[in-house]
Amino acid sequence: MEYEDAGRGRPLVLLHGFPLTQAMWQPQIAALQGGYRVIAPSLRGFGGTDAFTGTPSMDQMADDVAALLDQLSIREPITLGGLSMGGYVVLAFARRHAARLRALILADTRSGPDSAEGKANRDRVIAFMHDHSAADLLEDMLPKLVNAETRTHRPAVVAEIRRIAASQSPAAIIAALQALRDRPDSTPLLSQISVPTLVLIGSDDTLTPPAAADELAAGITGARRVTIPDAGHLSNLEQPEHFNQEIRAFLEALPG
C-alpha cells in the first residue's frame, strides 16, 4: 500500500473517495498532523497501491487497512474517517474490525447499496472505461464531484482533483466500480456502531445527498451530523478550513 504517515499523537486514518488517492487529504494532513498521527493510504489499485487480485470488494479494502495498521504496529483504537467510497470502506471496516475503532468520521457517503439504476450506471461507466481514460471520466464526473461555485471560482481545487484522477489506471477504476456496484447494504450495521461518530455532508452534494447523511446520523446512536456550507461532494477539498475545524472539534471532544 502507498500511504502518507504524518505527525504524532492518536492515530487518525483517512480513506479517499473515487477516483482519487490519498493525495486528496493533503489539506487535512497539513492541518491535523500537529496534534495527530494522520495516516492516509491509497486504496487498492489507486496511487501506488497494488491492484486487486481476487474479486474487488469494500471488504478487501477494509482488510487492507487493518493489515496496514498491523504493519505499522498500531494496536490502539483508531479514529477512522472516509469520504464517499472511503466511507463505504469505513463501514466495511466497522463490520469486520470493530474492536480496532475509537471513533468514526463519515463524510459525503451513505450506508445503502446501489439501486438497480445505480448498478446499471456502474456497468455503463465500466464499459466507458474500456476506451476512455481516467481524465475523460473525471470530466464527466466533475459536475457531481464539486459544486458550481467551486467549478467557477476555485480553479486550483479543480486542477488538483484533475491532477490526482488523471494518473489513475482504467483497470483500477473498473475494479473499484465493480466493488462499488457490488457493495452490501450497510444500513443494518448502523445500530451496532457504538463509537462516537461524526457525519459530514457538503450542502450541495448531489452524489450522496444530505438525506443520505440524515439516514447515517439517524441510524448511529449519538452521531453528530454537520453540514459543510457551500460545498459539493468533495467537501474536504472545497471547504478545507470548515471541514478541518469540524474534525478537530470532534477529535478534541473524544473521551480518553
Q: Does position 58 bind ligand MLT by CB under 6 A?
A: no
202 lines the binding site for ligand MLT (CB under 6 A) = no
* Of the candidate residues 85, 172, 228, 237, the single one contacting ligand MLT (CB under 6 A): 85
Range 160-199, binding ligand MLT (CB under 6 A): 180
Q: Which is nearer to ligand MLT, 102 or 235 (CB)?
A: 235
DSSP for the chain reads: --EEEE-SSEEEEEE--TT--GGGGHHHHHHHTTTEEEEEEPPTTSTTSPPPSSS--HHHHHHHHHHHHHHTT--S-EEEEEETHHHHHHHHHHHH-GGGEEEEEEES--SS---HHHHHHHHHHHHHHTSS-HHHHHHHHHHHHS-HHHHHH-HHHHHHHHHHHHTS-HHHHHHHHHHHHTPPP-GGGGGG--S-EEEEEETT-SSS-HHHHHHHHHHSTT-EEEEETT--S-HHHHSHHHHHHHHHHHHHTS--
Which CB sits closer to ligand MLT, 16 or 102? 16
212 counts as binding ligand MLT under rule CB under 6 A: no
Q: Does 18 bind ligand MLT (CB under 6 A)?
A: yes
User: In angstroms, what is the minimal distance from the CB of 10 to ligand MLT?
Assistant: 26
User: Binding string, 65-84, against ligand MLT, x = CB under 6 A?
Assistant: -------------------x
Shortest spacing between CB 247 and ligand MLT, in angstroms = 18
Of 106 and 207, nearer to ligand MLT (C-beta) is 207
Query: Per CB under 6 A, does 207 bind ligand MLT?
Result: yes
What minimum distance in Å lies between the beta carbon of 233 and ligand MLT?
6
Site residues for ligand MLT per CB under 6 A? 17-18, 84-85, 180, 207, 233
